[in-house]
């Protein structure tokens, strides 16, 4: 928390009263109580919720002459974050945010701490431009510090040494599957992806190495290159966690499992396919804690939001979400289902796979191996007295025809279509 001089504290109190943010009597009481409790005025006001933290810090920056910055919706490039290590950033509650005219812009919780500013400046070897920010803003940037992947290389070397020591590859793989270095390597990769807010992890075998890439903001980026020798152990470990056959290398396999990474519960959808140099693994990350399925929080607003709510309030018809892969079609459908979910209606969904489990919704997992396809499942659903039907994806003409028929016979149908844009429907 920023430590204020008596002069700045008085000016802050006058500003809050003049702007009508706090009553004068409450300010006077706050100053008196803070003094008795040996607290700063800001600490007291935040503790007793006299004013929003963001507004208070903004006002403090105004009277102290230190520029203010709100970082709660800002993503800082990794190369900028690397200027200050995460340990030092956490200790000083100060994070680098940009380079401005040969100076490094740093957001600090206590921007008046001259000693901390001098220390950071000497550490970076560049002059600083200091900004004042709230604790939430600082924590938001601290969460963006990505996991250090350098340890994975050491773990890979450890596995490589074990590989050379054991000539029997099959027995060696079984041993490494249960060994901690592989578990640690996989966990480190997953933690990096979660912190970077990646949607997918690609593990791709090459002739002489294993390439790891993450899809961040829709773009695939290579994050590391591992020795080829680690491939069998790493992929076997993923297969075991996904309850897949570790001795099957000829056909594609799909699975899923859940892990707790960085304090978050994350569902992982696994797709493994044989390629020329081994087996490729694609892991889709579904952060269960990061989705509230609230239409406003997802960016819908104004006329668009009113149109959506009018459409889903209809007793029958069809609502389609469309767009390219990873654009948020399924997430939008879940938000619509949550909006209309009620004890008075029977909601049945047909999904491949079931990405998020929702209470009060009857969710069916498509299983083509036993004949439960979208079209077959939709026929069955219509005999289960549904009010609202959600079909995860319309993939063929038969499913499309059945969905339209359901919409024309008194059901409200939700589904998705793969297109490049909404107009692509």
Mean pLDDT within 279-302: 81
Return the higher-pLDDT residue of 238 and 37. 238
pLDDT at 172 over 60: no
Residue 61 Cα distances to 18, 51, 66, angstroms: 16, 15, 5
**DSSP sequence for 257-320:** EEEEETTEEEEEEEEEEEETTEEEEEEEEEESSS----TTTTT--HHHHHHHHHHHTSSSEEEE
**Got the DSSP string for 178-239?**
TSHHHHHHHHHHHHHHHHTT-SEEEEEE-SSEEEEEEEETTEEEEEEEEEGGGHHHHHHHHH
pLDDT at 289: 67
Confirm if 2 and 61 have CB atoms less than 8 A apart: no
Separation CA 252–CA 240 (nearest Å): 15
| pLDDT score recorded for residue 169 | 45
Per DSSP, the three-state class of 393 is coil
Residue 148: band (very low, low, confident or very high) from pLDDT cuts 50, 70, 90: low
* Helix, strand, or coil (residue 96): strand
The more confident residue out of 375 and 251 is: 251
Q: Name the residue among 290, 269, 294 with its Cα closest to residue 195.
A: 290
- The answer to whether residue 171 scores a pLDDT higher than 50 is no
Positive or negative, the CA dihedral 134, 136, 137, 143 is positive
More confident residue, 227 or 353: 227
Q: Span 304-314, mean pLDDT?
A: 89
Taking residues 300-311, report their average pLDDT. Answer: 87
Tens digit of each residue's pLDDT (9 = 90 or more) over 254-263: 888 888 876 7
Q: Answer whether the bond into residue 353 is a cis peptide, omega within 30°.
A: yes
* Calpha distance 349→394 (Å, rounded): 13
Q: Which of the following CATH numbers is that of domain 78-143: 3.90.1530.10, 3.30.300.160, 3.30.420.40, 3.30.70.2080? A: 3.30.300.160
Q: Is the pLDDT of residue 117 over 70?
A: yes
Q: Please name every residue paired with 233 in a beta bridge, in sequence order, or none if there are none.
A: none
Average pLDDT over the chain, rounded to whole? 81
The residues pairing with 75 across neighbouring beta strands, listed in sequence order, are none
CA 256, distance to chain mean position in Å, is 18
* Closest C-alpha among 268, 20, 17, 19 to residue 31: 17
pLDDT over 60 at 424, yes or no: yes
Predicted confidence at residue 127, as pLDDT, reads 85
pLDDT of residue 166: 52
Ranges of each domain in the chain: 6-64, 78-143, 179-287, 295-417
Measured distance CA(69)–CA(241) in Å, rounded: 43
Query: CATH assignment of 179-287?
Result: 3.30.450.90
Average pLDDT over residues 88-96: 86
Query: Considering the chain, what percentage of its residues have pLDDT values greater than 70?
Result: 83
Q: What is the pLDDT of residues 156-165, one digit of tens each?
A: 666 655 555 5
Q: What CATH number matches the domain at 295-417, 3.50.50.60, 3.40.50.720, 3.40.50.300, 1.10.490.10?
A: 3.40.50.300
């Amino acid at each position: 928390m920023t430590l204020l001089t008596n002069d700045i504290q008085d000016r802050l109190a006058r500003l809050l009263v003049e702007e009508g943010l706090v009553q004068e009597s409450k300010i006077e009481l706050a100053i008196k109580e803070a003094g008795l409790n040996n607290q700063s005025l800001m600490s007291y006001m935040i503790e007793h919720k006299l004013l929003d933290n963001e507004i208070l810090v903004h006002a403090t920056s105004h009277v102290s002459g230190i520029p203010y910055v709100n970082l709660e919706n800002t993503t800082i490039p990794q190369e900028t974050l690397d200027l200050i290590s995460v340990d030092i950033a956490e200790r000083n509650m100060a994070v680098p945010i940009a380079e401005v005219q040969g100076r490094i812009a740093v957001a600090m919780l206590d921007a008046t701490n001259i000693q901390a500013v001098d220390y950071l400046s000497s550490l970076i070897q560049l002059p600083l431009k200091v900004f004042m920010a709230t604790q939430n803003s600082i924590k938001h940037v601290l969460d963006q510090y990505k996991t250090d992947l350098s340890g994975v290389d050491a773990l890979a070397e450890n596995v490589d040494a074990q590989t050379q020591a054991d000539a029997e590859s099959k027995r060696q793989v079984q041993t490494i599957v249960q060994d901690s270095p592989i578990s640690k390597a996989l966990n480190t990769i997953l933690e990096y992806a979660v912190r970077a807010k990646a949607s997918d992890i690609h593990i791709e075998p090459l002739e002489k190495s294993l390439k790891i890439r993450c899809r961040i903001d829709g773009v695939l980026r290579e994050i590391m290159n591992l020795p080829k020798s680690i491939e069998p152990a790493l992929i076997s470990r993923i297969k075991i966690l996904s309850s897949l056959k570790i001795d099957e290398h000829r056909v594609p396999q799909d699975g899923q499992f859940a892990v707790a990474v960085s304090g978050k519960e994350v569902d992982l959808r696994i797709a493994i396919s044989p390629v020329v140099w081994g087996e490729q693994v694609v892991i889709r990350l579904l952060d269960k804690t990061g989705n509230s399925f609230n239409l406003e929080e997802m960016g819908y607003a104004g006329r668009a939001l009113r149109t959506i709510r009018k459409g889903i309030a209809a007793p029958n018809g069809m609502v389609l979400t469309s767009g390219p892969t990873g654009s948020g079609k399924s997430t939008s459908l879940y938000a619509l289902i949550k909006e209309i979910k009620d004890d008075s209606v029977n909601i049945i969904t047909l999904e491949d796979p079931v990405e998020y489990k929702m209470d009060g919704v009857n969710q069916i997992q498509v299983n083509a191996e036993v004949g439960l396809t979208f079209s077959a499942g939709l026929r069955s659903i219509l005999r289960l007295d549904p009010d609202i039907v959600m079909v995860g994806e319309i993939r063929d003409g038969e499913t499309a025809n059945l969905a339209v028929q359901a919409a024309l016979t008194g059901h409200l149908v939700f589904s998705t279509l793969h297109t490049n844009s909404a107009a692509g429907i």
